Structure 1
């Protein structure tokens, strides 16, 4: 990263300490249903114990900030609207950032220089910036149901190409997560409508490892195994892409790593699928399903 980019430590301070907002509701009267009491954590740069409090707006509801670019015919969002809390949180968030790092947004507006490209699941419980403790501008992201990467998905591949060829990221993280609803649905014989077409990709992965996955008696553990194998498949699909092969051929230092997030503990773990070049890729492709699951059993002992 260039010398003008914000440092990870200072960004972490902003992300973790300056921006955590706690909201409590009071329902004394209908007008106060969206009456929130916000608190910003103590300033990151001081060792003080006091908490800075942002007073609530006790006035009658009024319109919140509106973009001057286009003024559509819809009425402005006021304080009685369900999104009012989110817009107020945004104002507090922006204010907190600017108070602690006045030039933060100015620097960010000049471009992004992330070192990490994250391919993850759309699940709202796996927010990559918070999981990795990185600030805005430090992780480039693509998310879909069950972090599936297939060679015909132009959306995902376009993002991958931009990350590799333009942003020059150093790491591509493919992250699955235990308790994934998409993977659980793929294990089922039930039809879920349109998403069945997407889940067919995970079912294809399962068929490659049917005997080993079906031998697991516990349904939850079977799902965890498919989460891991599905992530492995996406790692290998990324690594086999012409985008990655071209990057390695020109000497670009970049790796593809498979990880899994445990929503019950908050822990992120590497799965042992780490591809840094064509030689690594051939090694991973040569590993038989039985060997993968034997290693998995040994890890659990």
Structure 2
């Protein structure tokens, strides 16, 4: 019999603190217009407790012509529904941002100009905007299990093409993370069903470096090494795509970098995988597995001596 987990509520203070961390600065806007937006959002989701101090004479729809639309015979969720908590958190987050910069969402609705395209893992513990301390609109994102990039994934390649050719990003960041469940699953021989097809991409990387991985006796450290090598493989897969070749051929300034995130410390580390041209790609492809693992060992020893 399962035991229900106690849900820890997110307070308004928590939301405000998160927004303040985004370094969004306040700008001037008529007070009554801000209240229009706040009242409208709170009213739409029927949070009477949150609207007690709002002006009851405000025209609820005058400032937001595009009101939420419901398709199908769906009942309004009650206070105990899981969605109610998410909607409440969203309203507090939106309100906190608009208190600091009233025109933030209005400006964002006119387009995006991110400098970074992030390819990361779907793991919920690796939220790119939060760990980079960047606001909405500053990171274009694609995530999948174990941050795998392969030439047959039209989803990932379509996002890459849009990021490079339309948004003109300057950095493609491939981020692996220690403690990755996908990488850990690929380390063994257990069958998981449909996901085995996806994990086969990581297993192929493991086989390419099997000899050097086996020299690492500690299982956790071996998994960390595969996380790093898997990230490198995705960096090279991005670099080998026709999308990047075309971008570099036309002189576009865009670099691919590999980083790893440590969920135990909250810190990012760069892995030394930088590709900004076809020449860079050729140099990386000439580095064999033995050289990679030798460099990894040297770096680890150097870090130990520093500490």
The answer to whether TM tops 0.5 is yes
Q: Give yes or no for contact 1:35–1:56 (8 Å, CA) kept in 2.
A: no
> 1:83 deviation in Å?
1.9
**RMSD between aligned alpha carbons?**
2.4
SS at match of 1:259: strand
Q: Is residue 2:30 matched to residue 1:38? A: no
Using the size of structure 1 for normalisation, the TM-score is 0.80
SS for the counterpart of 1:152 is coil
Residue 274 of structure 2 is aligned to residue 286 of structure 1: no
What are the equivalent positions in structure 2 for 1:105-184 lying under 5 Å apart? 105-184=105-184
Deviation at 1:37, TM superposition (A): 5.0
Aligned length: 256
What SS does the aligned partner of 1:287 have? coil
- Closer, same or farther in 2 for the Cα pair 1:137/1:147, shift >3 Å? same
Matches within 5 A, 1:1-301: 37-39=11-13, 40-41=16-17, 57=49, 68-301=68-301
Supply the distance in 1 between the matched residues of 2:292 and 2:100 (Cα, whole angstroms).
48
| Correspondence for 1:30 | none
- Quote the Cα distance in structure 2 between the aligned partners of 1:165 and 1:69: 33
SS of the equivalent of 1:118 reads: strand
> Which of the pair is proportionally richer in strand?
1
Match of 2:55 in 1: none
Does structure 2 retain, via aligned residues, the 8 Å contact 1:261–1:268?
yes
> For 1:229-257, what per-residue CA distance to the aligned partner results, in whole angstroms no more than 9, with x for missing partners?
00000000000100000000000000000
Q: Is the 8 A contact 1:259 1:270 kept in 2?
A: yes
* Structure 1 residue 36: Cα displacement: 7.0
Unaligned runs of 5+ in 2: 1-5, 27-46, 52-65, 302-307
Compared with structure 1, are the counterparts of its residues 88 and 208 closer, same or farther at alpha carbon in structure 2 (3 Å cutoff)? same
Q: Contact conserved, 2:120 with 2:143, CA < 8 A, in 1? A: yes
Deviations 1:93-131 (A, max 9, x none): 111111110100000000000000000000000000011
Whole-angstrom distance in 2 between the partners of 1:293 and 1:125: 28
Q: CA deviation at 1:67?
A: 5.8
- Secondary structure, in 3 states, of the residue corresponding to 2:49? coil
What is the rounded CA distance, in whole Å, between the counterparts of 1:35 and 1:245 in structure 2? Answer: 48
Deviation at 1:84, TM superposition (A): 1.3
- 1:53-96 deviations in whole A, cap 9, x for unaligned? xx99399xxxxxx9632342121112121221111111111111
Shift of 1:35: 8.0
SS at match of 2:82: coil
CA distance in 2: counterparts of 1:174 and 1:85, whole angstroms = 32
Give the Cα–Cα distance (whole angstroms) in 2 for the partners of residues 139 and 102 of structure 1. 21
TM-score when scaled to structure 2?
A: 0.79
1: CA distance, partners of 2:11 / 2:198: 42
- In the aligned structure 1, how far is the partner of 2:87 from the partner of 2:167? 31
In 2, the alpha carbon distance for the partners of 1:185 and 1:81 equals 34
Q: Is contact 1:184–1:223 with CA below 8 Å preserved after alignment? A: yes
Q: Is the 8 A contact 1:38 1:56 kept in 2?
A: no
Question: How big is the shift at 1:149?
Answer: 0.2
